Each structure stands twice: as structure tokens, then as C-alpha cells.
């Protein structure tokens, strides 16, 4: 075999793709179709008006087919700054915003500016596996910060993990995979911790539009010198069903964005034009529609909480946004259980082992259920099938 980057070779395979391979050769009868709770990306097209805006741009705006600014189009950068400034009570400009090819790329860009091989980044567990994958590929050590039973990380436990090689702390709220919504006071304490040690605090709010709370989820943009510590990430994929167009955002200080620009120019040159057109149109026109989407997701969260509460032996640890983190009652590892669920009860879910370090017993005891694409009847059927699962 030809040489392979050892850091890449040591990185685990994409978990969602691995789980999909479990379906090969398995038949699902018409009276018991597959219930897929492995991934919660939107499966429907964007609203008609947004699609028409993209189509109009494709037909009538020649610049929509050309390279654009590396950090994104000015109208979208300004619109994101205005939206975040209003939502968080801070003073932002388009110069604080970079548009990326999805939120995953925003994370990769942020980490590339922060850490190199041999450095350390603190990440609560269970973690979002793509974050771990990128750090592994980059030769950056991921330092796990186990969450408690409420699925919230502890700043004091994070403090004990800081070393001279630590460069950043990462938070995802609402969380993937647990769904936990981090209280504003907790996020503020992590900001204070990072600021006092000269670290970056990276806050991934991919699912902020489906937070059950009203008002700002934190006050970090109101803090003095926020731009010296905070890097905030966002995705338009979930809000406007733009997964295929890959539109995300990174909000940070302008000095950092100068470094981000180097990374983005190298890996993408510029974000896709048509996706940016759709995001601008969505920010201007889809607030009421998005409120309806949020209400439906919250209703499915409630249905999940209700259904799992009546399920003997199973324990719901947390739920929010698109996800539920549940403890199963079986002796076997979730890695084996998840595969068995496909053939025995027609349910595809991801095992907790995909979200935790190797050998972590927490991962073996848990599953992530992504309920966002399952309606109330389907959630009730899911609970019924879990109840039928034999030991």
C-alpha cells in the first residue's frame, strides 16, 4: 500500500456511513418498515420561496456561478451579524462573520487557527464525532471532559484538565448527541475560565433555532473583549433545510478571521453562491416558517420524552433539539445492541460508543436517538419496538 498520513489512518471511519452499511442485506417488511433514528438532517426540500430565490439567482445572476469572496458574500455576512447582534444583545458587524461550507468546515477552520500537532483541546463527552475526527486528523489531542448525569459539563473539572498545551474548550449547545441545553450561567462560567487562561471558547450552536428556551441562550457577545476569547459556530442546514448547499457561519474577532481566510482560501476558495442566496432569503423571509418548524421539533421532543418514560428499563438522560440520549437495560455494549436492533426490531440508531473515547463504559451503556424526522406516531412505534427487544 502506498503511504498514508498516519494521523488520518488512525482516525475512525465516518459513523453514519458505517451505520448505513448495517442495512445491507436486511429486509424490512411493509408492515414493519425501518425506523431510522441514526441521523436527524432534514429530509425535505427547503420552502418553495427559498427554492425560487435560488432558481432565480441560477438563471439571472451570472455572479452566482463564479468565485465569490473567500469569507463569504457581504450581504449574508451583514445579515448574520445583524441577526446575532439582535438575538444576543451584542454589537457585531459583517467583519466578525465568515461564511463556510457548512458548520463542520467552520469548526475545522476555527481549530486550524487555534491548535497544531501536539496541542490539546478540551471537549465534553459524549462528543460530536466529527469534531473528534478533525482533531485526530490534525494531530491535536482531544481531552475528554465527562458530563454528569444531567449531561452538563463542569467548568471546575475542565479547569483541572488545562495544561500548557491546552488551546481551546469546545461546547455544543443544544448538544449533539445528548440534546442538552446548556444554561447561560454555565456557558458564562466556561467563558470566564477560558478567558482567564488565555484559551479560546468555541461554541457550536448548530441547533440554536430549536432551543426550547426563549431569549438569548448566553450573554457572551455582551462581554468586554468577547472577540479575544469566543468563536461561535452556526449552520443554516437545519434552519432552512440547506444541507445539500453547505452553508455555515463562524463568528469571531477580525484578527482571527484573517487567519480563517487563509484556511478557507486553501480548502474551498469561496463558499457556494447559491446556498448563500438561499440563506439570505431565509433570514429575510422565513422567521414565521422557522417558528413553526421549531414548534414541531419541540412537539416531537415531548412525544419522545413521554414515550420513553413508559419504557421499562430504559432511562432518558436528556433530550433537546434533534436528539435523545438514552441508557439501555442490556448487558451488551451499545455497539452490538445497535446492530442487533436493525435485524430484530427494524430500528437504526447510533451507539454511544461512537460518541465517547475507546473503552469508556458510558458509551457502551447508551444510544443516541435522533427523533427529528419521526412524527408522534412513529415515536410511539419506536418505543413499542424497543419494548419488544429481547435480552
* pLDDT per residue rounded down to tens, the chain (391 residues): 688 899 999 998 898 899 999 999 899 999 899 999 998 888 889 999 999 999 999 999 999 999 999 999 999 999 999 999 999 998 899 999 999 999 999 999 999 999 999 999 999 999 999 999 999 999 999 999 999 989 999 999 999 999 999 999 999 999 999 999 999 999 999 999 999 999 999 999 999 999 999 989 999 999 999 999 999 999 999 999 999 999 999 999 999 999 999 999 999 999 999 999 999 999 999 999 999 999 999 999 999 999 999 899 999 999 999 999 999 999 999 999 999 999 999 999 999 999 999 999 999 999 999 999 999 999 999 999 999 997 6
- CATH code reported for the domain at 6-45+289-388: 3.90.1150.10
Cα–Cα distance for residue pair 370/363, rounded to 1 Å: 16
State which fold the 48-285 domain adopts: 3.40.640
Cα–Cα distance for residue pair 123/108, rounded to 1 Å: 14
Cα–Cα distance for residue pair 56/285, rounded to 1 Å: 16
Q: Which three cell numbers stand for residue 8?
A: 488520518
- Give the distance between the most distant pair of CA atoms in the chain: 61
Q: Is 43 exposed, middle or buried (0-12, 13-18, 19+ CB in 10 A)?
A: exposed
3-state secondary structure of 223: coil
Give residue limits of the domains in the chain. Answer: 6-45+289-388, 48-285
DSSP state of 139: T
Residue 318: beta bridge partners? 325
Question: Apex CA 261: angle with CA 110 and CA 13, to 5°?
Answer: 45
Predicted structure pTM score: 0.95
Amino acid at each position: 500500500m502506498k503511504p498514508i498520513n498516519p494521523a488520518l489512518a488512525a482516525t475512525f471511519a465516518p459513523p453514519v456511513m458505517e451505520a448505513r452499511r448495517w442495512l445491507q442485506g436486511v429486509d424490512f417488511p411493509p408492515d414493519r418498515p425501518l425506523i431510522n433514528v441514526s441521523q436527524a438532517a432534514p429530509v425535505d426540500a427547503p420552502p418553495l420561496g427559498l427554492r425560487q430565490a435560488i432558481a432565480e439567482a441560477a438563471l439571472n445572476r451570472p455572479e452566482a456561478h463564479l468565485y465569490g469572496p473567500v469569507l463569504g458574500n457581504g450581504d449574508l455576512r451583514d445579515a448574520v451579524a445583524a441577526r446575532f447582534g439582535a438575538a444576543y444583545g451584542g454589537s457585531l458587524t459583517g467583519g466578525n462573520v465568515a461564511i463556510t461550507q457548512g458548520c463542520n468546515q467552520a469548526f475545522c477552520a476555527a481549530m486550524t487557527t487555534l491548535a497544531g500537532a501536539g496541542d490539546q483541546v478540551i471537549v465534553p463527552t459524549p462528543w460530536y464525532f466529527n469534531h473528534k475526527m478533525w482533531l485526530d486528523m490534525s494531530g491535536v489531542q482531544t481531552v475528554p471532559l465527562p458530563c454528569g448525569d444531567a449531561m452538563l459539563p463542569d467548568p471546575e473539572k475542565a479547569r483541572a484538565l488545562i495544561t500548557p498545551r491546552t488551546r481551546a474548550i469546545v461546547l455544543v449547545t443544544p448538544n449533539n448527541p445528548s440534546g442538552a441545553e446548556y444554561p447561560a450561567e454555565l456557558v458564562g462560567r466556561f467563558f470566564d475560565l477560558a478567558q482567564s487562561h488565555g484559551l479560546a471558547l468555541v461554541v457550536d450552536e448548530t441547533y440554536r433555532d430549536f432551543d426550547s428556551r426563549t431569549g438569548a441562550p448566553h450573554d457572551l457577545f455582551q462581554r468586554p473583549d468577547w472577540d479575544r476569547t469566543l468563536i461561535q459556530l452556526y449552520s443554516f442546514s437545519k434552519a432552512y433545510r440547506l444541507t445539500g448547499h453547505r452553508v455555515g457561519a463562524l463568528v469571531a474577532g477580525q484578527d482571527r478571521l484573517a487567519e480563517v481566510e487563509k484556511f478557507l482560501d486553501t480548502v474551498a476558495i469561496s463558499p457556494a453562491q447559491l446556498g448563500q442566496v438561499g440563506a439570505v432569503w431565509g433570514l429575510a423571509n422565513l422567521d414565521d416558517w422557522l417558528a413553526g418548524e421549531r414548534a414541531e421539533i419541540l412537539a416531537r421532543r415531548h412525544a419522545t420524552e413521554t414515550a420513553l418514560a413508559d419504557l421499562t428499563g430504559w432511562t432518558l438522560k436528556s433530550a433537546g433539539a434533534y436528539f435523545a440520549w438514552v441508557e439501555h437495560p442490556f448487558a451488551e455494549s451499545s455497539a452490538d445492541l445497535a446492530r442487533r436492533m436493525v435485524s430484530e426490531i427494524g430500528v437504526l440508531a447510533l451507539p454511544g460508543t461512537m460518541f465517547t473515547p475507546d473503552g469508556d463504559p458510558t458509551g457502551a451503556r447508551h444510544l443516541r436517538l435522533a427523533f427529528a424526522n419521526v412524527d408522534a406516531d412513529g415515536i410511539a412505534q419506536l418505543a413499542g419496538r424497543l419494548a419488544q427487544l429481547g435480552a
